[in-house]
Amino acid sequence: MTAPYELIYYTGVPGRGEHVRLLLEEAGAAYKDTQFLSFDEARESVTHWLGAGGHGNPRYFAPPLFKHGDLVISQTPNILLYLGSKLGLAGAQADDVYRVNALALTALDGVSNEVHDSHHPIAVMLPYEEQKEESRRRSQYWIQNRLPSHLEYWQKVLESDKDSPGPWLLGGTFTYADLVLFQCLDGTFYAFPKAMEQARESGKYDRVFQLWEDVKARPNIAAYLASDRRQKYQDWGIYRHYPDNDIVSE
């Protein structure tokens, strides 16, 4: 298919669409991106394509959306799965696509959705200010219990690739799961800088923080991060920095 790749998402923060951009940027693929529209135009595009249907596509619930010719799909991990295979970022062995998808889903659950829910534990439609106490309580448990649990898990994945040594989650083979984990760590660092710095300085998760640096240094990713296509985190996205929530343990 020679149709263009089109990312349809809100504009103004990296958000969940950022994972899609990182795959396309790493592969050097051309793509259209509604981030270059005005805020209202991007929102209208999202609303239109959520409900467009036709060509066998169902209606979708939420962006990001991805359009490739007549195909329209939703759900971040699903878009990554589609693109991962097309862009050669879904592994080298038979069935690696299912290993990479498992790792990507685990990063998105644990180091993206859980972090988002830390500032909105009661309801997504309520402003943060109306769930501030619950948010602080949740963040404290998250930083003390879940953050170490996730970092320890990723460290073990990186340490246990004896069959195929290398800096990546599948050993020597760079895949889109590495890009997803990079973005999740990067966003979590924005949300909880003190807690993440303390984790880095502990020395217990060196392989994880090294992966973050290694992805950042890949030529296409470095160029992208330095460009104006990389939007800044802001406190209405997935990752928000509320100093009250950035709790460092003793």
Of 130 and 197, the one with the shorter C-beta distance to a copy of itself is: 130
Enclosing H/E stretch for 167 = none
> Nearest approach, Cβ of 226 to a copy of itself (angstroms)?
31
Of 99 and 230, the one with the shorter C-beta distance to a copy of itself is: 99
Of 115 and 157, the one with the shorter C-beta distance to a copy of itself is: 157
> Nearest approach, Cβ of 122 to a copy of itself (angstroms)?
5
> Nearest approach, Cβ of 80 to a copy of itself (angstroms)?
11
> Nearest approach, Cβ of 232 to a copy of itself (angstroms)?
26
> Nearest approach, Cβ of 169 to a copy of itself (angstroms)?
6
How far is the C-alpha of 56 from the C-alpha of 52, rounded, in Å?
A: 11
DSSP 183-249: HHHHHHHHH-HHHHHHHHHTTTTHHHHHHHHHHHTSHHHHHHHHSTTSPPP-TTSSS---GGG-PPP
Would you tell me which residues interact with a copy of itself (CB under 8 A)? 51, 53-54, 56-62, 71, 73-75, 77-78, 81-82, 93, 95-96, 98-99, 101-103, 105-106, 110, 113, 117, 121-126, 134, 137-138, 141-142, 145-146, 150, 153, 156-157, 160-161, 163-164, 169-170
Task: Give the C-alpha distances (Å, rounded to integers) separating 88 from 23, 54, 70, 83, 84.
Answer: 10, 29, 22, 8, 6
DSSP 122-135: S-TTS-GGGGHHHH
Cβ–Cβ < 8 Å for 102, 115: no
Of 102 and 217, the one with the shorter C-beta distance to a copy of itself is: 102
Of 41 and 133, the one with the shorter C-beta distance to a copy of itself is: 133
Of 97 and 225, the one with the shorter C-beta distance to a copy of itself is: 97
Q: What is the dihedral of CA 108, 141, 209, 163, to 10 degrees?
A: -60
Cis omega before residue 64 (within 30°)? yes
> Nearest approach, Cβ of 75 to a copy of itself (angstroms)?
4
In the chain, % helix, strand, coil (3-state, to 5) comes to 55, 10, 35
Q: Is the dihedral of CA 186, 191, 195, 198 positive or negative?
A: positive
